[in-house]
Amino acid sequence: MFATFERSTVITYAVLLVVTAVAWLAMLRVPMADRDMAGMDMAMTPTLADGLTFVVAWAIMMAAMMLPSALPMIGLYAAMQRDAPSTATRMAAVTAFTAVYVTLWAITGVPIYFASVALMAVTASTLAHTIAAVLIAAGVFQLSPLKHVCLRYCRSPLGFLLGHWHAGWRGGLRMGFAHALYCLGCCWALMVVLVVAGAMGLPWVLLIGCVVAAEKILPRGEWVARMTGVALALLGVAVAIRPGLAVVLRAPAM
């Protein structure tokens, strides 16, 4: 039993690392900003085909950015499946947990797509003021109690799993959904910054991916969140004073 349990956990980590690596290779080969902007005019009418393409690319980016910080949670969940009746049952539960987590992040690509389309149609002045407002709002959220409630659950895999435990693959679905909601509540502001201020450029993807991982994994992750909040708010104030900085922020994706 113990050997099987260890083998299942190792397989889980190996599969997740492979998926993460493939997602990052796809991102490095064709960054999200290039997928989004290729062949588009400054004003674009939303279409189903463009929307689906965007959401698929967004899902790949979310897998690359979010799975590394979710590895401790998913790995511990796999380790706690030792009482499941079979290896197939264990793997089904872990797959359900992970699939729901990634799917919920992929679905957020739908409103992000429409927001991106809207941003492409605004004037430079309006865009600069929007970026300033988003940066300040994201900075304030990073310092808010709601942020730290969600972050606490993300930083404590054992506490989350013990408090939300449900057996079987249906339990995996419920727990994966609950964890995804906490993760979304923790990181949504950073993703808005990525889209609005960073135009989904690769440097911003790398930076925010590292911030997310540091918040959730490092021993002083709460302070990483607070310092990020202060930095975002100050950057927002700077953009409000000097709107030309908005062009500099979005330059890597242009």
CA-CA distance, 10 to 98, in Å (whole number)? 15
pLDDT value at residue 88: 79
41 CB-near residues (< 8 Å, 6+ apart): none
Mean pLDDT by 10 residues, the chain (254 residues): 57 86 84 54 68 91 93 90 77 92 95 90 92 97 96 94 90 95 96 92 92 94 96 97 92 64
Residue 61 phi, psi dihedral angles, 5° rounding: -65, -40
The DSSP call for residue 205 is H
How many Cβ atoms from other residues are within 10 Å of residue 125's Cβ? 10
For the segment 16-46, what is each residue's pLDDT rounded down to a tens digit? Answer: 889 899 988 887 777 666 555 444 444 457 7
Q: What is the pTM of this model?
A: 0.87
Record the tokens describing residue 182, joined without a space.
């906490």
| Per-residue burial over 198-220, b = 16 or more CB atoms within 10 Å of its CB, e = otherwise | bbbbbebbebbbebbbbbbeeee
Quickly tell me which residue has 């930076």 as its tokens. 207
Record the tokens describing residue 228, joined without a space.
């990020």
pLDDT value at residue 47: 80
CB-CB contact of 79 with 154 (8 Å):
no
pLDDT value at residue 3: 45
pLDDT value at residue 8: 66
Record the tokens describing residue 104, joined without a space.
């919920």
Q: Which of 96, 38, 102, 100 is nearest to 66 (CA)?
A: 102
| DSSP conformation letters of 8-33 | HHHHHHHHHHHHHHHHHHHHHHS-HH
Q: Which of 138, 132, 70, 129 is nearest to 101 (CA)?
A: 70
Record the tokens describing residue 29, joined without a space.
């080969």
Record the tokens describing residue 184, joined without a space.
């979304």
For the segment 2-21, what is each residue's pLDDT rounded down to a tens digit? Answer: 444 466 678 788 888 898 99
CA 106 to the chain's CA centroid = 9
**Residues comprising the chain, all counted:** 254
Which helix (H) or strand (E) element contains residue 137? helix 124-142
CA-CA distance, 111 to 91, in Å (whole number)? 32
Considering only CA atoms, give the Rg of the chain. Answer: 19
pLDDT value at residue 38: 42
